[in-house]
Amino acid sequence: MERFVSSLDNSNGNSISRVLDFGSQCVNGNYKELFDPDVWEYVGVDQTAGKNVDLVLSDPYNWAEIDNEFADLLISGQALEHVEYPWIIFEEFFRVMKRGALCCVIAPSSGPEHRYPIDCWRFYGDGMRALCKHANLTCLECHTDSDEDDLDEESRVWKDTILIAKKQ
């Protein structure tokens, strides 16, 4: 996520861009510190209250609390495997993203079961691309970490799949 955020060109003049982080609760760290508050308005959303959660969703599959075309950027890291119906989550991603907005989703393709509170899925590139297709998002980049990637031992076990997509 750090590489993705550092690659962003957020030259909107004086306007602040809004980033929406799905699954933002700080369990093993969070992404908030990656976003300069002078440039980004960070909004963390999750199913339960906790550290780094600005908005608790009353229904994880119908984000009534969030307006259409709310976010300039949508991120989600290590959360998608914990939802039963990821295709519905992608529909909500599409709905809340502004036209031209990007999203970056990171989810494991491997690793042990880790219920928080449930653990339903592992994702490969084809699965992420299928979710994009279902939600009418354009996949710009999708890859899965491999043993050749420069990763620490803890990260290597998850073999994360990283998706970058755009709402056209």
pLDDT in tens, the chain (168 residues): 999 999 987 665 557 799 999 999 988 788 999 999 999 999 999 999 999 999 999 999 999 999 999 999 999 999 999 999 999 999 999 999 999 999 999 999 999 999 888 999 999 999 999 999 999 999 999 999 877 777 777 778 899 999 999 999
| DSSP secondary structure string for all residues of the chain | -HHHHHH-----TTPPEEEEEET---SS--SGGGS-TTTEEEEEEESS--TT-SEE-SSTT--TTS-TT-EEEEEEES-GGG-S-HHHHHHHHHHHEEEEEEEEEEEESS-----SS-------HHHHHHHHHHHTPEEEEEEE--TTS---HHHHTT-EEEEEEE--
Q: Which CATH class name applies to 2-7+14-166? A: alpha beta
Q: Which amino acid belongs to residue 43?
A: V
| pLDDT at residue 116, rounded to an integer | 83
Q: How far apart are CA 102 and CA 159, in angstroms?
A: 22
User: Among all chains, which residue has been given the structure tokens 């990656």?
Assistant: 34
| pLDDT at residue 11, rounded to an integer | 63
Q: Quick one: angle between helices 125-135 and 86-96, nearest 10?
A: 50
Q: Nearest-CA neighbor of 49 among 74, 26, 31? A: 26
Structure tokens, 72: 């300039």
| pLDDT at residue 14, rounded to an integer | 56
